[in-house]
Structure 1
Amino acid sequence: MKTKGTHNYYVYILTNKSKTVLYTGVTNNLSERLYFHNNPLPSSKAFTAKYRCFYLIYYEHFFEIEDAIRREKQIKGKSRSKKELLINTFNPDWNFLNDNI
C-alpha cells in the first residue's frame, strides 16, 4: 500500500483535431489513458471515440483521488468559455501535448 500523498492522479481535457469538442476525465495513469483514448476498441461507443477526442490540451496533477475527482467535477460544470480560459492559461496555443506525457 502506498503512503498517503504518494499517488498520482490527473484531471485532463482532450479535444478533437479541429478543437471543437472538449472532454474532461480523471485517471491515475495519464499516458496509459491517452493510449486507450487513441486506440479505442472497434465497437466502442465511448464519447471520445465517437467524437474523435484524442488530443491532450490540458492536465493537472493531484496526489489524492478525492481532490482529482472534485476538480474534474468542477471543470465539467464550467461553461465552454470558462474551460477555454482555463486551457488558454495553461496552453495558450492549444498545442497537442500527447507526446509530452
Structure 2
Amino acid sequence: MANKRNGTIYLGVTSNLQQRCFQHRNGLIDGFTKQYGCKLLVWYQRFENLHDARRREVQMKSWKRLWKLREIEQMNPHWADLYETLV
C-alpha cells in the first residue's frame, strides 16, 4: 500500500487481500496506513501458504527502499491503484 507515487509505503501480509485493502482504504484500521494515508494498492504477490508469505514479508522489510521501489515499478510502473483488479 502507498499514499502516492514514490511516497510512503506499507508492506503487510493477509489471507484476504481484497478485504484488507478495503479496510485500509476506508480507514477502518488504526495504525501506520491510516496515519500516513496509505490507501493505494500498488503491488502484491500471491503465495500458496501463509508461511511463505510471512517469510517474504520479513525479507522485504529488511530491504532498502530503492529495492522496494524497483519491485513496485516492475509490476506497476505507473503506480496505478490495483485494488479494482482484485474485484
Q: Structures share a fold, TM > 0.5?
A: yes
Runs of 4+ in 1 over 4 A off after TM superposition: none
Runs of 5+ in structure 1 lacking a partner? 1-13
Compare the two structures and name the one with the higher strand fraction. 1
Mapped contact 2:5–2:79 kept (Cα < 8 A): no
Q: Determine the structure 2 residue equivalent to 1:91.
A: 76
Residue 29 in 1 paired to residue 16 in 2? yes
Q: Determine the structure 1 residue equivalent to 2:35.
A: 50
Aligned length: 86
Question: Could you give the per-residue CA deviations for residues 13-67 of structure 1, whole angstroms, max 9, x where no partner exists?
Answer: x1003541000010000000011101224xx641000000010000000011110
Determine helix, strand or coil for the equivalent of 2:57. helix
Residue 75 in 1 paired to residue 50 in 2? no
Determine helix, strand or coil for the equivalent of 2:7. coil
Residue 62 in 1 paired to residue 79 in 2? no
Determine helix, strand or coil for the equivalent of 2:54. helix
Measure, in 2, the Cα distance between the counterparts of 1:96 and 1:53. Answer: 11
Q: Determine the structure 2 residue equivalent to 1:38.
A: 25
Runs of 5+ in structure 2 lacking a partner? none
Determine helix, strand or coil for the equivalent of 1:61. coil
The sequence identity of aligned pairs, in percent, is: 38
Higher Cα radius of gyration: 1
Amino acid at match of 1:39: N
